[in-house]
């Protein structure tokens, strides 16, 4: 596409082995597809120096760091002070990803809740957005987010949203954002598209979660930030607007939430 609309991939994992030795090409592909900014997410704090180096090397790349809920039983528990110290870096734009995953790792639920509360406290203190992963834990997630927000407000994005309409409503009522991934493009994901169609456009972000969840026509292959454009087109279709307008609105949303990347 000549002069594609500018969009941002709000969530990818450029430090994963899937991209080893190819980052120059991956970033170039993204820029050619109109992806002007990427937030690469650190899921294990021991990887933070590597993720930080990627952000320092490539102008369009920003980063966030935290302990993924599926990693909490394999990693030292993060501290609020540790996350606050990381947030000083000029390209550090968010706290997480953190959250709850009872689908794969329910046995560590107590540790996940402890970790989530630590990340929330860091988001409250730094005023940076919280990046939430939630799977199979809607009730606990809703309760923790509501009680924590009522104690001290914070901003948040529900990354790769594919949970229930009830959790979506709670998140939106708190002023949070829902992020649309390749899941919304899959033929059998009408329930996810329905949730997004009932979400205010000013609360939607776009992401790849690369290297996972590649949208058609790349489904089943490695995802990369360039493919954000395919999910954005589905988002535009959901709202019945053209891609340029959808991209413009989600860019405004991205800059409102990830204010350090503006």
Q: 139 in a domain, yes or no? A: yes
Query: Which residues 6+ apart lie within 8 Å of 249 measured at CB?
Result: 201, 202, 204
How high is the pLDDT of residue 71?
97
Number of H helices, E strands in the chain: 10, 8
- Total-model pTM: 0.97
**Number of structural domains in the chain:** 1
Which domain, by its residues, includes 223?
7-261
Query: Which residues 6+ apart lie within 8 Å of 100 measured at CB?
Result: 69, 109, 112, 113, 116, 133, 134, 135, 137, 140, 141, 144
pLDDT by position in tens, the chain (length 262): 578 999 999 999 999 999 999 999 999 999 999 999 999 999 999 999 999 999 999 999 999 999 999 999 999 999 999 999 999 999 999 999 999 999 999 999 999 999 999 999 999 999 999 999 999 999 999 999 999 999 999 999 999 999 999 999 999 999 999 999 999 999 999 999 999 999 999 999 999 999 999 999 999 999 999 999 999 999 999 999 999 999 999 999 999 999 999 9
Q: 2 in a domain, yes or no? A: no
How high is the pLDDT of residue 3?
85
Q: Are 202 and 255 in contact (CB under 8 A)?
A: no
Q: 206 in a domain, yes or no? A: yes
DSSP 8-class letter at 214: P
pLDDT digits (tens, 9 = 90+) for 64-83: 999 999 999 999 999 999 99
How high is the pLDDT of residue 82?
98
Distances (CA, A) of 131 to 17, 40, 42, 80, 153: 22, 12, 11, 15, 15
Look up the CATH number of the domain holding residue 136.
3.20.20.140
Q: 1 in a domain, yes or no? A: no
């Amino acid at each position: 596409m000549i002069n594609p609309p500018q969009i941002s991939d709000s969530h990818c994992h450029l430090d994963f082995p899937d991209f080893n030795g190819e980052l120059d090409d991956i970033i170039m592909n993204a820029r050619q597809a109109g992806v002007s900014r990427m937030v690469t997410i650190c899921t294990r704090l021991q990887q933070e120096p590597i993720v930080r180096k990627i952000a320092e090397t490539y102008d369009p790349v920003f980063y966030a760091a935290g302990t993924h809920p599926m990693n909490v039983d394999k990693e030292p528990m993060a501290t609020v002070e540790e996350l606050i110290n990381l947030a000083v870096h000029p390209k550090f734009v968010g706290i997480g990803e953190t959250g709850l995953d009872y689908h794969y790792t329910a046995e560590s639920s107590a540790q996940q809740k402890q970790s989530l509360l630590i990340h929330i406290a860091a988001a409250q203190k730094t005023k940076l957005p919280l990046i939430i992963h939630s799977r199979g834990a809607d009730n606990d997630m809703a309760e923790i987010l509501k009680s924590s927000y009522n104690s001290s407000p914070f901003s948040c994005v529900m990354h790769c949203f594919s949970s229930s309409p009830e959790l979506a409503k709670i998140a939106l009522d708190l002023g949070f954002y829902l992020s649309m991934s390749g899941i919304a493009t899959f033929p059998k994901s009408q329930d996810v598209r329905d949730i997004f169609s009932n979400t205010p456009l000013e609360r939607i972000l776009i992401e790849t979660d690369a290297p996972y969840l590649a949208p058609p026509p790349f489904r089943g292959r490695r995802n990369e930030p360039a493919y954000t454009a395919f999910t954005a087109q589905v988002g535009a279709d959901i709202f019945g607007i053209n891609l340029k307008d959808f991209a413009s609105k989600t860019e405004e949303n991205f800059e409102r939430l990830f204010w350090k990347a503006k």
